[in-house]
Structure 1
Amino acid sequence: MEIMILTGFVSLINLAAFILMGADKQRAMNNQYRISEKTLWNVAFFGGAIGAATGMKHFRHKTKHSQFKYGLPALAIIEIGIYIYFFMLLA
Protein backbone atom coordinates (compact mmCIF):
# COMPACT_ATOMS: atom_id res chain seq x y z
CA MET A 1 0.00 0.00 0.00
CA GLU A 2 2.76 2.47 0.94
CA ILE A 3 4.61 1.85 -2.30
CA MET A 4 1.47 2.73 -4.26
CA ILE A 5 1.13 5.99 -2.35
CA LEU A 6 4.79 6.84 -2.95
CA THR A 7 4.47 5.99 -6.65
CA GLY A 8 1.39 8.19 -6.93
CA PHE A 9 3.07 11.07 -5.14
CA VAL A 10 6.23 10.87 -7.24
CA SER A 11 4.20 10.71 -10.45
CA LEU A 12 1.87 13.59 -9.57
CA ILE A 13 4.48 16.02 -8.23
CA ASN A 14 6.75 15.46 -11.22
CA LEU A 15 3.88 15.80 -13.69
CA ALA A 16 2.88 19.04 -11.94
CA ALA A 17 6.44 20.37 -12.18
CA PHE A 18 6.64 19.48 -15.87
CA ILE A 19 3.30 21.20 -16.57
CA LEU A 20 4.33 24.28 -14.58
CA MET A 21 7.47 24.66 -16.67
CA GLY A 22 5.41 24.43 -19.86
CA ALA A 23 2.81 26.87 -18.56
CA ASP A 24 5.47 29.39 -17.53
CA LYS A 25 7.11 29.13 -20.95
CA GLN A 26 3.74 29.81 -22.63
CA ARG A 27 3.14 32.77 -20.35
CA ALA A 28 6.60 34.13 -21.15
CA MET A 29 5.97 33.84 -24.88
CA ASN A 30 2.58 35.62 -24.53
CA ASN A 31 3.90 38.37 -22.21
CA GLN A 32 1.50 37.27 -19.47
CA TYR A 33 1.85 37.17 -15.70
CA ARG A 34 4.54 34.58 -14.91
CA ILE A 35 4.84 31.75 -12.42
CA SER A 36 7.41 32.85 -9.84
CA GLU A 37 10.80 31.19 -9.70
CA LYS A 38 10.13 30.57 -6.01
CA THR A 39 7.09 28.47 -6.92
CA LEU A 40 9.05 26.50 -9.52
CA TRP A 41 11.81 25.83 -6.99
CA ASN A 42 9.36 24.87 -4.23
CA VAL A 43 7.67 22.28 -6.45
CA ALA A 44 11.09 20.95 -7.48
CA PHE A 45 12.38 20.86 -3.90
CA PHE A 46 9.33 19.00 -2.59
CA GLY A 47 9.79 16.12 -5.00
CA GLY A 48 9.31 17.46 -8.51
CA ALA A 49 12.89 18.14 -9.60
CA ILE A 50 12.85 15.34 -12.16
CA GLY A 51 9.74 16.74 -13.84
CA ALA A 52 11.02 20.31 -13.60
CA ALA A 53 14.39 19.40 -15.13
CA THR A 54 12.67 17.42 -17.87
CA GLY A 55 10.29 20.32 -18.52
CA MET A 56 13.17 22.77 -18.60
CA LYS A 57 14.90 20.72 -21.31
CA HIS A 58 11.72 19.88 -23.24
CA PHE A 59 10.32 23.42 -23.34
CA ARG A 60 13.78 25.08 -23.48
CA HIS A 61 12.77 27.21 -20.55
CA LYS A 62 15.07 28.77 -17.91
CA THR A 63 18.08 27.18 -19.63
CA LYS A 64 20.10 30.42 -19.53
CA HIS A 65 19.70 30.77 -15.76
CA SER A 66 22.65 29.03 -14.08
CA GLN A 67 20.66 28.21 -10.97
CA PHE A 68 18.13 26.29 -13.08
CA LYS A 69 20.60 24.95 -15.66
CA TYR A 70 22.77 23.30 -13.02
CA GLY A 71 20.61 23.31 -9.91
CA LEU A 72 17.57 21.43 -11.21
CA PRO A 73 19.53 18.49 -12.66
CA ALA A 74 21.61 18.27 -9.47
CA LEU A 75 18.47 18.29 -7.34
CA ALA A 76 16.89 15.69 -9.65
CA ILE A 77 19.85 13.35 -9.14
CA ILE A 78 19.56 13.75 -5.37
CA GLU A 79 15.81 13.07 -5.52
CA ILE A 80 16.35 9.97 -7.66
CA GLY A 81 18.65 8.64 -4.94
CA ILE A 82 16.06 9.43 -2.26
CA TYR A 83 13.29 7.76 -4.28
CA ILE A 84 15.40 4.65 -4.86
CA TYR A 85 16.11 4.47 -1.13
CA PHE A 86 12.45 4.71 -0.19
CA PHE A 87 11.30 2.27 -2.88
CA MET A 88 13.88 -0.27 -1.69
CA LEU A 89 12.85 0.32 1.91
CA LEU A 90 9.18 -0.31 1.09
CA ALA A 91 9.73 -3.26 -1.26
Structure 2
Amino acid sequence: MLIVILTILFLAINGWTMLMFKLDKMQAIAGERRVPEANLLMLAFIGGTPGAFAARHLFRHKTRKEPFSTQLMVIAVVQVGALIGWFLF
Protein backbone atom coordinates (compact mmCIF):
# COMPACT_ATOMS: atom_id res chain seq x y z
CA MET A 1 0.00 0.00 0.00
CA LEU A 2 2.88 2.37 0.78
CA ILE A 3 4.30 1.84 -2.71
CA VAL A 4 0.95 2.80 -4.26
CA ILE A 5 0.73 5.98 -2.18
CA LEU A 6 4.33 6.95 -2.96
CA THR A 7 3.75 6.29 -6.68
CA ILE A 8 0.64 8.49 -6.68
CA LEU A 9 2.52 11.27 -4.87
CA PHE A 10 5.46 10.97 -7.28
CA LEU A 11 3.16 11.19 -10.31
CA ALA A 12 1.24 14.10 -8.77
CA ILE A 13 4.32 16.20 -8.00
CA ASN A 14 5.77 15.55 -11.44
CA GLY A 15 2.46 16.40 -13.13
CA TRP A 16 2.23 19.62 -11.09
CA THR A 17 5.83 20.47 -11.97
CA MET A 18 5.13 20.04 -15.67
CA LEU A 19 2.00 22.20 -15.40
CA MET A 20 3.96 24.96 -13.68
CA PHE A 21 6.62 24.90 -16.40
CA LYS A 22 3.86 25.10 -19.03
CA LEU A 23 2.22 27.99 -17.16
CA ASP A 24 5.55 29.82 -16.95
CA LYS A 25 6.11 29.33 -20.69
CA MET A 26 2.63 30.64 -21.50
CA GLN A 27 3.12 33.65 -19.24
CA ALA A 28 6.52 34.36 -20.82
CA ILE A 29 4.97 34.35 -24.29
CA ALA A 30 2.12 36.60 -23.14
CA GLY A 31 4.50 39.00 -21.36
CA GLU A 32 2.76 38.40 -18.04
CA ARG A 33 4.12 37.88 -14.56
CA ARG A 34 6.18 34.67 -14.44
CA VAL A 35 6.40 31.74 -12.07
CA PRO A 36 9.46 32.41 -9.89
CA GLU A 37 12.44 30.20 -10.71
CA ALA A 38 12.74 29.40 -7.01
CA ASN A 39 9.27 27.81 -7.15
CA LEU A 40 10.21 25.70 -10.17
CA LEU A 41 13.42 24.57 -8.49
CA MET A 42 11.58 23.76 -5.26
CA LEU A 43 9.16 21.55 -7.17
CA ALA A 44 12.13 19.72 -8.66
CA PHE A 45 13.76 19.45 -5.23
CA ILE A 46 10.72 17.80 -3.63
CA GLY A 47 10.59 15.12 -6.31
CA GLY A 48 9.54 16.77 -9.54
CA THR A 49 12.91 16.54 -11.27
CA PRO A 50 11.75 14.07 -13.95
CA GLY A 51 8.77 16.32 -14.66
CA ALA A 52 11.03 19.37 -14.84
CA PHE A 53 13.34 17.75 -17.38
CA ALA A 54 10.39 16.42 -19.39
CA ALA A 55 8.73 19.86 -19.39
CA ARG A 56 11.94 21.57 -20.48
CA HIS A 57 12.12 19.22 -23.44
CA LEU A 58 8.40 19.24 -24.34
CA PHE A 59 7.86 22.99 -24.02
CA ARG A 60 11.39 24.06 -25.02
CA HIS A 61 11.45 26.22 -21.93
CA LYS A 62 14.42 27.23 -19.73
CA THR A 63 16.76 24.97 -21.68
CA ARG A 64 19.63 27.47 -21.83
CA LYS A 65 18.80 29.62 -18.81
CA GLU A 66 21.70 29.95 -16.37
CA PRO A 67 22.11 29.50 -13.47
CA PHE A 68 18.72 27.73 -13.53
CA SER A 69 19.98 24.85 -15.68
CA THR A 70 22.97 24.25 -13.45
CA GLN A 71 20.87 24.40 -10.30
CA LEU A 72 18.39 21.90 -11.73
CA MET A 73 21.23 19.58 -12.70
CA VAL A 74 22.71 19.79 -9.19
CA ILE A 75 19.33 18.88 -7.70
CA ALA A 76 19.10 15.89 -10.05
CA VAL A 77 22.62 14.68 -9.22
CA VAL A 78 21.97 14.97 -5.47
CA GLN A 79 18.70 13.06 -5.82
CA VAL A 80 20.31 10.29 -7.88
CA GLY A 81 23.12 10.07 -5.32
CA ALA A 82 20.60 9.85 -2.49
CA LEU A 83 18.71 7.07 -4.28
CA ILE A 84 21.91 5.12 -4.91
CA GLY A 85 22.89 5.57 -1.27
CA TRP A 86 19.43 4.47 -0.11
CA PHE A 87 19.55 1.25 -2.12
CA LEU A 88 23.17 0.42 -1.26
CA PHE A 89 22.82 0.93 2.48
Q: TM-score range by the shorter chain?
A: 0.7 to 0.9
Runs of 4+ in 1 over 4 A off after TM superposition: 80-86
1:39 matched to which residue of 2? 39
Task: Supply the distance in 2 between the matched residues of 1:82 and 1:14 (Cα, whole angstroms).
Answer: 18
Describe the shift of the 1:44–1:73 C-alpha distance in structure 2 as closer, same or farther (beyond 3 A).
Answer: same
Further displaced range: 16-25 or 72-81:
72-81
Instruction: Supply the AA of the counterpart residue of 1:48.
Output: G
Other-structure match for 2:4: 4
Gaps of 5+ in 1: none
Change in CA separation of 1:83 and 1:2 when aligned onto 2, cut-off 3 Å: farther
Q: Name the TM-score, length of structure 1 as normaliser.
A: 0.78
2:67 is equivalent to residue 67 of structure 1: yes
Greater relative CO, 1 or 2 (CA 8 Å, sep 6+): 1
CA contact (8 A) 1:17 1:51 kept: yes
Q: Secondary structure at the match of 2:11?
A: helix
Are 1:18 and 1:54, in contact at CA under 8 Å, matched by a contact in 2?
Answer: yes
- Could you state the TM-score of these two structures normalised by the residue count of structure 2? 0.80
Alpha-carbon distance between aligned partners in 1 of 2:7 and 2:80, rounded to the nearest angstrom = 13
Q: Does structure 1 conserve the Cα–Cα contact (< 8 Å) formed by 2:37 and 2:68? A: no
| % identical equivalent positions | 33
List per-residue Cα deviations over 1:16-43 (Å, max 9, x = no partner).
1011101100000000111001110111
Indicate the residue corresponding to 1:54 in structure 2: 54
Aligned residue pair count: 87
Unaligned runs of 5+ in 2: none
**1:53 Cα deviation (Å)?**
1.2
Partner amino acid, structure 2, of 1:15: G
